[in-house]
Structure 1
Amino acid sequence: MAVSVTAALLIIGDEILTGRTKDKNIGYIAEYLTGIGIDLREVRVVPDVEEEIVAAVNALRGRYTYLFTTGGIGPTHDDITADCIAKAFGVGIGQDPRAVAMLRERYQPHELNEARLRMARIPEGADLIENPISKAPGFRIGNVFVMAGVPSIMQAMLDLIAPTLQTGARMIIETIEAEGLAEGIYAEGLSQIAASNPAVSIGSYPSFSTSGFRNQIVVRGKDPDAVAGSAAAVRELLGRLKGDRAPL
């Protein structure tokens, strides 16, 4: 039986909740983890409030194989993620000599002020995640990975993390075009197929564009035979419904 490896993502920052910053990390991380065989099961967004960050970290790290966080590890007063992670794990926090050395690769001695040194504050016992772009590191403690919120930096960190992760069977995805059929026409039949095939997930996704309206049915699963069989059943359903609607 394939091993199931699960993950949650915690997005930290008032700017996400107010809409000032439009998140670009959720979709990227979800697709990345799916591609390597890790199921992203939950995403939460919390403000820069210590109690809420600590509560979310402790809830999610206990529920899933991995917890990834983004945001809140910069030099300003509201960058409190590192302190909150330390509190969640019940460990101390202070300037990490390894992190300071990384910052010195970018900043001249007179530039490495107290604000920038905040980015070297790492919970005790954590391993560093290198930052090849701006040098300020992320870190891992337990099953929690703390990454930057800036998309380019987060993506570079994720590439470094990935080889260290346990992975499971990769998701197999089949997409079927429901050409010319509205959801209301195939909904009942699709529901019956989904109920008969619990090993897969079946979703219907309508969309609108300048070229018109379209429906796509997506079959997801980790058992190749189950996915193929369910996809075939969906195609048979659509073909039959289209035949019923053919002009006399």
Structure 2
Amino acid sequence: MTGQRADDVVTAAFLVIGDEILSGRTKDKNIGFLADYLTALGIDLKEVRIVPDEKPEIIGAVNALRARYDYVFTSGGIGPTHDDITAESIADAFGVALNLDPRAVAIMEPHYPPGQFTPARQRMARIPEGADLIENKVSKAPGFRIENVHVMAGVPSIMQAMMDALAPSLKTGKKMLSETVAADMPESRIAERLAAIQDAHPQTLIGSYPRATDGKFTTQIVIRSRDEAILMAAVRDVAEAVADLSG
């Protein structure tokens, strides 16, 4: 936002990996969760990409996103099967080796009955050289962090547990504040006034969200800013516009 100090803003991207998402076989539940989670922390989710289980696509996306944002989070593709290639792709993106990590083995092996830590399960203990582990309290197989890239499972309960584990280590910015003004009118009726208010308050973000109930159109107007005084000034202008147009 105009006038916002750079050190107040921490940015992130989310890379969702998996053919099953793109084909519709699996309905993604992680994007909405992560958006809410990062907003609550004070991190701006700026971009979401979905790529197939193809190494060139994963590598290209990771390298593009990690250069542009403070953090990159990924989900999917770190399971025990041959087509779970995220760990390999991340290692290639950073130009490092992918090895069976003794830390991951020590966490995972006791989780299985004797002799059941099979080669397929050991695939989940392969970690790129130089990466830190992300704790997984649900199924033990850890995620990992290498530089600003955080690699997590696609299963929502596991991904959410991993986020809880790594959240305390993340740098956060000044949190975005928000207020909502209800307008008992269609969005088109107030759009011009909202555009003028947005121009007058460049350090705010103003969104309007139409609703239809029993054939009646109303609008929810959400005003966001990191500065409370600036936020409330814009809220007053929006409320005044709503009152004028309602009258």
Taking structure 2 as the reference length, the TM-score comes to: 0.95
1:10/1:45 contact within 8 Å kept: yes
Deviation at 1:226, TM superposition (A): 1.2
The Cα shift of 1:203 comes to 0.6
Query: Alignment partner of 2:53: what SS?
Result: coil
Gaps of 5+ in 2: none
Question: Whole-Å Cα distance in 2 between the matches of residues 209 and 117 of structure 1?
Answer: 54
Counterpart for residue 165 of structure 1: 170
Q: Give the Å deviation of 1:94.
A: 1.1
Shift of residue 207 of structure 1? 2.8
1:27 corresponds to 2:28 = no
Structure 2 residue corresponding to 1:215, chosen from 212, 219, 237: 219
Q: Does 1:79 align with 2:84?
A: yes
Matches within 5 A, 1:157-196: 157-179=162-184, 181-196=185-200
Question: How far apart, in 2, do the equivalents of 1:19 and 1:186 lie?
Answer: 37
**1:4 alignment partner AA:** V
Q: Using the aligned pairs only, state the percent identity.
A: 59
Pairing 1:1-248 to 2, within 5 Å after superposition: 1=5, 3-179=8-184, 181-208=185-212, 213-243=217-247
- 1:95 touches 1:121 (CA, 8 Å); kept in 2? yes
Measure, in 2, the Cα distance between the counterparts of 1:119 and 1:109: 17
**AA in 2 matched with 1:96:** D
1:63-108 CA-to-partner distances (Å, cap 9, x unmatched) read 0000000110000111100001001101000100111111113112
| Paired residue secondary structure (1:110) | coil
On the 8 A contact 2:186/2:217 being kept in 1, the answer is: no
- 2: CA distance, partners of 1:56 / 1:97: 29
Distance 2:34 2:8 in 1: 20
- Distance verdict in 2 for CA 1:193–1:70, change over 3 Å: same
2:187–2:218: 8 Å Cα contact kept in structure 1? no
| Matched letter for residue 207 of structure 1 | R
**Hey, what's the Cα distance between the residues in 2 that align with 1:155 and 1:39?**
18
Distance 2:217 2:68 in 1: 39
**What is the one-letter code of the residue matched to 2:54?**
V
Instruction: Give the partner amino acid of 2:117.
Output: L
Q: Secondary structure at the match of 1:105?
A: helix
Shift of 1:208: 3.7
Query: Against the structure 1 CA distance between its residues 209 and 153, is the aligned structure 2 distance closer, same or farther, given a 3 Å change threshold?
Result: farther
Give the CA deviation at 1:15.
Answer: 0.6
Gapped regions of structure 1 (runs ≥ 5):
244-248
| CA distance, structure 1, for counterparts of residue 217 and residue 138 of structure 2 | 42
> Are the structure 2 counterparts of residues 10 and 112 from structure 1 closer, same or farther at C-alpha, using a change threshold of 3 Å?
same
Q: Given the superposition, is the C-alpha separation of residues 173 and 114 from structure 1 closer, same or farther in structure 2, using an over 3 Å criterion?
A: same
Q: Which amino acid aligns with 1:230?
A: A
My pick for the range that moved more, 203-212 or 159-168, is: 203-212
Q: For each residue in 1:198-240, what CA deviation from the matched residue of structure 2 results, as whole angstroms up to 9, or x when unmatched?
A: 1011011113457964311111110111111111100000000
* Aligned residues: CA RMSD: 1.3
Count how many residue pairs are aligned between Structure 1 and Structure 2.
242
Instruction: Provide closer, same or farther for how the CA distance between residues 210 and 111 of structure 1 changes in structure 2, counting only shifts above 3 A.
Output: farther
TM-score by length of 1: 0.95
1:198 and 1:39 map into 2 onto residues whose CA distance is 18
